[in-house]
A = this chain, B = another copy of it.
Amino acid sequence: MRRFASLSLLLLILAGSGLAAAVRARQQSAPPPAPRPAWALAIHGGAGTPPRDMPEERKRAYLESLSGALADGRDRLERGESALDVVEALVRRMEDDPLFNAGKGAVFNAEGRHDLDAAIMDGSSLACGAVAGLTTVRHPIELARRVMERSPHVFLVGAGAEHFADEERVERVSNEWFSTPERLEQLEKRKAEGTFGTVGAVALDRAGRLAAATSSGGLTNKKWGRIGDVPVIGAGTYADDRVAVSCTGKGEEFIRHGVARELAALVRYGERTAAEAARILVRERLREGDGGLIAASADGELVLEFNTAGMFRGAADAAGRFEVAIWSAEGSP
């Protein structure tokens, strides 16, 4: 009888631990699953301190540019284009827009020239391509895609990368082509604000594939051939079968913390949602003012998280969400 009682006690203890584990598992898991949207998309045009007294027409220009890109991405994903094609197309579009610090409108480095970096990653295959230190490639994201698909390499820099651009007949322009009067003024003022402005996109397509792309002109007044986080796969750009991430901000901090891949690791091994992982990274690991990120998960969850005063951003999905914003007080997205 004592033996039976002990056995019962043991069973109860084990049952309790089993139950506790079950409860923990439930607590850790995502909220009751909403139906996965057929597609989801987020874009950013950089995080930083956009002046609160920004002229109304300039604010409108930003919001219209973001809306235009977002609508373009929505239409593409609606008609079944791949996440990879969509993130490339949207980043390419934002590279041509002088409002952002990527492609046309890139900031000036210490030599009064422009240095461009970009990266793209296909979450379904882990294929990726990155370029840095470009001075004459009109669309750095296009070259990153070529590196990914048409070279045996992942990461090309400088004159060598531009030589590869010629072999691939990728469009080149003069370095002056990237210049705009606003960026020149910025160099002269050496304003901290507005040196951000990297562009990026993450998407989940109808086939359930994820992709991420990022493009940047780097830091105003940078020197010494500095490379930021954008072309460092796992730092500023990353995608796998669970989540796609594109970052913007102080590149050195994003490299140190490997933000994009760390977010994916928190989702994969730490059993966090993309939103929880993003908050841990942006609010706990990084410091206030460091920047932000956008992420899309395989469940269609979209995350737009930043610790700066603002982040130019947009989010859309198949359930009808379509939002663009600049500052944080606006609440959404």
Chain A residues near B (Cβ < 8 Å): 10-19, 21-22, 126-128, 132-133, 151-161, 163-164, 223-228, 232-235, 238, 251-252, 255-258, 261-262, 265-266, 268-270
Contacts and interface: CB of A to CB of B under 8 A. Distances in A.
Nearest to A226: B153
Contacts of A16: 14, 18
A12 to B, nearest CB: 7
Contacts of A155: 226-228, 232, 255
A110 to B, nearest CB: 9
Instruction: Tell me the number of copies of this protein.
Output: 2
A75 to B, nearest CB: 31
Contact of A225 (B17, B158, B265): B158
A13 B269 CA distance: 26
A32 to B, nearest CB: 22
Contacts of A233: 232, 235, 255-256, 258
A127 B256 CA distance: 7
Nearest to A115: B160
B265 A152 contact: no
Contacts of A154: 251-252, 255-256
A160 B14 contact: no
Contacts of A258: 233-234, 238, 258, 261
A161 to B, nearest CB: 5
Nearest to A251: B154
Contacts of A12: 11
B224 A153 contact: yes
A157 B128 contact: no
A172 to B, nearest CB: 15
B158 A126 contact: no
A219 to B, nearest CB: 9
A164 B110 CA distance: 13
A223 B160 contact: yes
Contacts of A164: 224-225
